[in-house]
Amino acid sequence: MRGIAYFWVVVLALGGMFVYIAHAAGHAGGEAAPIFGITIPAGYRDWKLISVAHEEGNLNDLRALLGNDAAIKAYREGKLPFPDGTIIARLAWSYVPSEENNKVFGRAQSFVAGDATNVQFMVKDSRKYAATGGWGFAQFKDGKPADEALLKTCFPCHEPVRARDFVFTRYAP
Amino acid sequence: MRGIAYFWVVVLALGGMFVYIAHAAGHAGGEAAPIFGITIPAGYRDWKLISVAHEEGNLNDLRALLGNDAAIKAYREGKLPFPDGTIIARLAWSYVPSEENNKVFGRAQSFVAGDATNVQFMVKDSRKYAATGGWGFAQFKDGKPADEALLKTCFPCHEPVRARDFVFTRYAP
């Protein structure tokens, strides 16, 4: 009897771990970004939503910010600085008018996500990235990392929000 | 020895379940929406991202579509119709220019999520909601459901996309 109970508890344990691992799965790895040595984090497309935004101008995109569990926890608790291990992902897609939606609304008002443009990551490691506020930066387009020249522009741009641990995006309730 | 191993396996099992349940947690329940009897689904703010959009006009919002596991699986596999149990959540926030971001970009180009406007749900139950394409519709503002008159407008508006099982939003890669 005890052996059978033991067996089912093991099944339950492995099942629980499997569900959790399956949830975190996704495309990842590949070539590392220069300077900071960051590769695409596993399962980032499954992460929870931080917020959304629209950039006009040359970017002309719709974007979503997703966070790993450390990021979401820190955001929801309002705790700064973000702990080591935090990763924030910025996904972006071209800003495309939706003819289909506009037809239903009876006016041109609807803009949706088109093709993916690129994906960026901020990775917190206060020792490794001490020279850039504790953050490493990376950008990938179709899995290919952006070059060193581009990544050198990340930290100077984020410096104005030092008081929010160099992170622009606020959590959307 | 066997007793100790048993103990740790139980700890592991309970720990795994706790992590999974904690992940799905969130505000939920409350007053049911009229007609379809839908309450706010547990943990919807933790669901995975389907896509994002911007509506101009009277809505003037930034929005994110999130899906429960059934929704995400169907989207990723490109399978229609969505299975019973699918829930799609549409979150929306007021469309707000970001002075802070604009200062960094050196031009007015950045729009971010302001206050939450309302949240909508499409719930698939092909028997219960047979009269409306298998979908129940709900909208909540600050936890309060929208009235019957508003909910009666949902299905007619979604009818033009019958070929996509009445769902407008496409999955953003």
Whether the pLDDT of residue B164 is over 90: the answer is yes
Instruction: Identify any residues that bridge with B90 across adjacent strands, giving them in sequence order.
Output: B65, B120
Please give the sequence-ordered ranges of beta strands (E in DSSP) within chain B, or none if there are none: 48-55, 61-67, 87-97, 110-124, 135-141, 144-145
Whether the pLDDT of residue B58 is over 80: the answer is yes
Q: Tell me the DSSP string of A111-147.
A: EEEEEEEEEEEEEE-TTTTGGGTTEEEEEEETTEEPP
Angstrom distance (rounded) from CA B17 to CA A15: 9
Chain A residues with CB under 8 Å of B17 CB are 12, 16
What's the whole-number mean pLDDT along residues A141-162? 96
Contact B47, B91 (CB under 8 A): no
Angstrom distance (rounded) from CA B54 to CA B93: 10
Whether the pLDDT of residue A111 is over 80: the answer is yes
In terms of DSSP bridges, do strands A87-97 and A61-67 run parallel, antiparallel, or are they unpaired?
antiparallel
Q: Can you list the pairs that A27-33 forms with residues at least 24 positions away whose Cβ atoms lie under 8 Å? A: A27/A143, A30/A140, A30/A143, A31/A143, A31/A144, A31/A145, A32/A145, A33/A137, A33/A138, A33/A139, A33/A140, A33/A145, A33/A146, A33/A151
Chain A residues with CB under 8 Å of B98 CB are 53, 168
Query: For residue B48, what are its two tokens?
Result: 């995975």
Interface of A with B in 70-89 (CB under 8 A): none
Q: A-B interface: how many C-beta pairs under 8 angstroms? A: 146
pLDDT 10s digits, A28-65: 789 999 999 999 999 999 999 999 999 999 999 999 99
What's the whole-number mean pLDDT along residues A66-82? 98
* Chain B interface includes A160 (CB < 8 A): yes
**Above pLDDT 90, what percent of chain B?**
82
* Chain B interface includes A49 (CB < 8 A): yes
The pLDDT of residue B3 is: 64
Q: Can you list the pairs that A69-74 forms with residues at least 24 positions away whose Cβ atoms lie under 8 Å? A: A70/A124, A71/A47, A72/A47, A72/A48
Angstrom distance (rounded) from CA B87 to CA B38: 11
Element (H, E) at B2: helix B2-24
Query: For residue B10, what are its two tokens?
Result: 């139980």
The pLDDT of residue B23 is: 40
- Residue A23 pLDDT grade (very low, low, confident, very high; cuts 50, 70, 90): very low
Contact A88, A65 (CB under 8 A): yes
